[in-house]
Chain A
Amino acid sequence: EVQLEESGGNLVQPGGSLRLSCAASGFTFGNYAMSWVRQAPGKGLEWVSLMSGSETMSYYSDSVKGRFTIYRDSSRNTVYLQMNSLRAEDTAVYYCAKDGVVRGVFDSWGQGTLVTVSS
């Protein structure tokens, strides 16, 4: 059974940094791209970042490019999101999502971790 468990969410001041983690199990980690998707309170889903299974490609939404970095540790089956220069508008539940056999389709999701950016 695929399991994705996010952690690292917290209250942080504007301009601060935070690192999110997503521990994966139940599948061959290196075979699948992993993404971060966020959802601001009461709002819709926003794709944030993606890293390929091979770790050779990464992509970011315009709203986070230059501030956030995605990376993976295959020895720990974990994907991370390093978030710097945080802004109030980054406040959201951050979900980790796994690509399915069909690349680009999110077939498994974690329960999410809440990031609140506020002074």
Chain B
Amino acid sequence: DIVMTQSPDSLAVSLGERASINCESSQSVLSTSNNKNYLAWYQQKPGQPPKLLIYWASTRESGVPDRFSGSGSGTGFTLTISSLQAEDVAVYYCQQYYDSRRTFGQGTKVEIK
């Protein structure tokens, strides 16, 4: 299985400041056939199911605010919230879909400082 490792486990950021979450995969999730990274990001708020934010490592899902952005390739990826809002307090997960046996990172909790 492809192991996904996120860092940090938690971070506290002031309102309006930038938050960055890293995700590393144990093997590359970049397909040489289409040059796409099979990496998605989700947001989960307490008591709710996860919500898709980004796929193909950097493509925002429809309706997701543009303060959320994804970057990276191969085995290293980053989710960035450019200006943290109160409603962004949540746990964020990366997920690979390169392999049919899909795997998630352990999650990163984002809080307000």
- B59 — nearest CB in chain A belongs to which residue? A102
Question: Secondary structure at chain B's binding surface: helix, strand, loop or mixed?
Answer: loop
Known: A61-B101, A103-B97. 18 other contacts (CB 8 A): A44-B93, A44-B107, A45-B95, A46-B104, A50-B101, A59-B100, A59-B101, A61-B1, A95-B49, A100-B55, A102-B56, A104-B40, A104-B102, A105-B55, A105-B95, A105-B97, A107-B61, A110-B49
B77 → chain A, closest Cβ, in Å?
14
Show the binding face of B for A, using Cβ within 8 Å: 1, 38, 40, 42, 44, 49-52, 55-56, 61, 91, 93, 95, 97-98, 100-107
B54 to A, closest residue via Cβ: A105
Instruction: Categorize the interface residue count of chain A.
Output: 20 to 34
In order of increasing CB-CB distance, the 10 nearest A-B pairs are A104-B97, A109-B49, A44-B107, A105-B55, A45-B104, A47-B102, A44-B106, A105-B40, A59-B100, A59-B101
Note all chain B residues with C-beta closer than 8 A to A62: 1
Bound-complex Cα distance A62 to B2 (A)? 12
A-side contacts of B56, CB under 8 Å:
102
The distance in angstroms between the C-alpha atoms of A105 and B93, with both chains bound, is 13
